[in-house]
Chain A
């Protein structure tokens, strides 16, 4: 099968470009804006997930019998007080999520994972509509921004805060999925690889940045949410304004076909069309 012509003309290898060179040379100015904004909203979206330990940092407990700082195990068996002045100003401190109240913390974290689960399901069903992708990315970022800022408005109601944690992570999943789809549709080759790496880089930078904010503000959840919410909202608006160069009306779009294939089975669950029902039967027979 091997053609002698293949060996005759070995391809010339271009010298590898640095990250900055790829960004400058391979992307148009408009694409550069899109890349920066996409990285920005990806970074902001993950900061709640990474920030859960900071938002729920254990409070500083003072055992009233001896008036000294004590651990939770000791404090729960006697009267205790939560030191909000010198201790962390996290959600756990403010709402006293220790001892018997700790279940509320479990509830809030479960709500955040429930947001991820439901977000995964719903995002899958909207995946097919490529034209909406940029809009959905912006919308998800705005949902995160609104939820984080909304947490400040309902700062005396822990149940509402749990619901808003749910919506934040719901938006996070959309960004998580669509950012990669958007990347695959709009950028190719080296540039796509560069953005993939940049997603990880900005994720790391944002996590580090918010950890430093937590450190400087003594885990103050209000400041954390205010900064994260505002930046997410700005990112969402910015991403809505910048226009993608991709023409989604192109019928020869290979990715569209791939996404359509990907969505064959979700449609099975809804419509049970003949063809898909047959495939489902195969699945049930051989796997289930």
Chain B
């Protein structure tokens, strides 16, 4: 159930990230008021970024490995947030640079959030995700929501000691990036490759990436079942590819074989039928 220590490390690190990510995302929404520029334009940008980040995650993860992507994005965010630690507040407060910075951060954080959900499923072995994904999601959800309670207080306390609230998050992101060093790519093959191989279109892909991964309550197979490759649910194909040797005589293997047989047409005595029908006839005879 818990194959190696690396899985356990990844489990803890991803849970930490999720909470951290939720905290910074909510903090940016709360802090929109204290940004430079026009409040209303900032609000509009914040709400539209939701869509942009969802689409961007779909497009980016189609081309790049999520795990590597997450690593680079985290480095980038750590560097950006560090500006708030090392720069005097007067230099950055209320300027247009700050607005651009916030918009960029919000976008990146949403992309991280989406990527994190995907990475969670891709790089935790199936046995682990099947049994524990519900629990993992539950812990992360509670932790992420609980940490939100601290956001207004942190902002208030940081301002009361004359520091920008982002200084706190800067430190947190750097710590997160350091912790991320302890995670490793446990499994190389995942939904990404399968989706590419299965040639699913962008909408189906979006359904898997965001519908399934975004809100925790549904496990990945739930949506993969809905996507069929050669008439066989993608979940079966995935399992078939990952654990090919163990599928002999199993129901999934037979299902996949039957699907192939159904798709292959032959003509017998002028009558066109699938190999499956031919097999059925043969058995009856």
Say if A and B assemble together.
Answer: yes
CA distance A176 to B141 in the complex (A): 13
Q: Which residues of A contact B29 (CB under 8 A)?
A: 49-50, 52-53
Chain B stretch 172-208: residues in CB contact (< 8 A) with chain A: 199, 201-208
Quick one: which of A1, A208, A263, A282 contacts B1, CB cutoff 8 A?
A282
A54 at the interface (CB under 8 A from B): yes
Residue-by-residue, is B218-258 near A (CB-CB < 8 Å gives 1, otherwise 0)? 11011101110110000000001000110000000000010
Question: Does A184 reach chain B (CB closer than 8 Å)?
Answer: yes
**A258 and B218 contact, CB distance less than 8 A:** yes
10 examples of A-B residue contacts, CB within 8 angstroms = A1-B244, A6-B230, A6-B260, A16-B201, A49-B29, A53-B43, A116-B145, A196-B206, A211-B47, A255-B222
Instruction: Tell me whether A29 is interfacial, beta carbon within 8 Å.
Output: no
- Whether A259 contacts B217 by the Cβ 8 Å rule is yes
CA A53 to CA B41, docked complex, whole Å: 12
Known contacts A110-B153, A203-B47, A286-B8; A189/B204 CB under 8 A: yes
CB atoms of A8 and B264 under 8 A apart: yes
For the complex formed, measure the closest distance between the CB of A162 and the CB atoms of chain B, giving whole angstroms.
12
> Is B26 interfacial (CB 8 A cutoff)?
yes
**Residue positions of A touching B, CB distance < 8 A:** 1, 3, 5-6, 8-9, 11, 13, 16-17, 22, 49-54, 56-58, 102-103, 106, 109-110, 113-114, 116-117, 120-121, 124, 127, 173, 176-177, 180-181, 183-184, 188-190, 192-197, 200-201, 203-204, 206-208, 210-212, 214-215, 254-255, 258-259, 261-266, 279, 282-283, 286-287
Residue of B nearest to A5 (CB): B260
Are A184 and B43 closer than 8 Å at their CB atoms? no
Residues of B within 8 A of A5 (CB): 260-261, 263-264, 275
B48:A207 contact, CB within 8 angstroms = yes
Chain B residues with CB under 8 A of A177: 215, 217
Contact count A vs B, C-beta below 8 Å: 204
The residue among B11, B202, B203 with the most chain A CB atoms within 10 A of its own CB is B203
Closest Cβ of chain B to A123, distance in Å, is 9
Lowest 5 CB-CB distances: which A-B pairs, in order? A207-B47, A193-B207, A193-B203, A262-B134, A211-B43
Interface-facing stretch out of B50-58, B68-76, B78-86, B119-127: B50-58
Tell whether B100 is near chain A: CB-to-CB under 8 Å.
no
Which of B39, B51, B141, B207: most chain A Cβ within 10 A?
B207
Q: Once bound together, how far apart are the Cα atoms of A259 and B257, in whole Å?
A: 29
Q: Does B167 interact with chain A (Cβ within 8 Å)?
A: no
Query: Considering residues B33, B205, B227, which has the most beta carbons from chain A within 10 angstroms of its beta carbon?
Result: B33
Q: Is the interface of B mostly helix, strand, loop or mixed?
A: helix
| Contact between chains at A53 and B204 (CB < 8 Å) | no
Nearest CB of chain A from residue B278's CB, rounded to whole Å: 13
The answer to whether residues A11 and B217 also contact, given A113-B151, A196-B211 and a CB cut-off of 8 A, is: no
The chain B residue with its CB closest to the CB of A263 is B134
Cα A204 to Cα B50 with chains together (Å): 7
Most central of B32, B50, B240 by chain A CB within 10 Å = B50
Residue numbers in A under 8 Å from B137 (CB-CB):
262
Closest to A19 in B: B203
Measured between beta carbons, the chain B residues less than 8 angstroms from A266 are 138
* Docked-complex contact B2 and A286, CB < 8 angstroms: yes
- Apart from A57-B39, A176-B215, A190-B204, what are 12 other A-B pairs with CB-CB below 8 Å? A50-B47, A53-B43, A54-B40, A121-B145, A124-B141, A190-B201, A194-B203, A196-B206, A200-B50, A211-B43, A258-B219, A258-B222
Bound CA–CA A57/B40 (angstroms):
10
The answer to whether A54 touches B43 (Cβ under 8 A) is yes
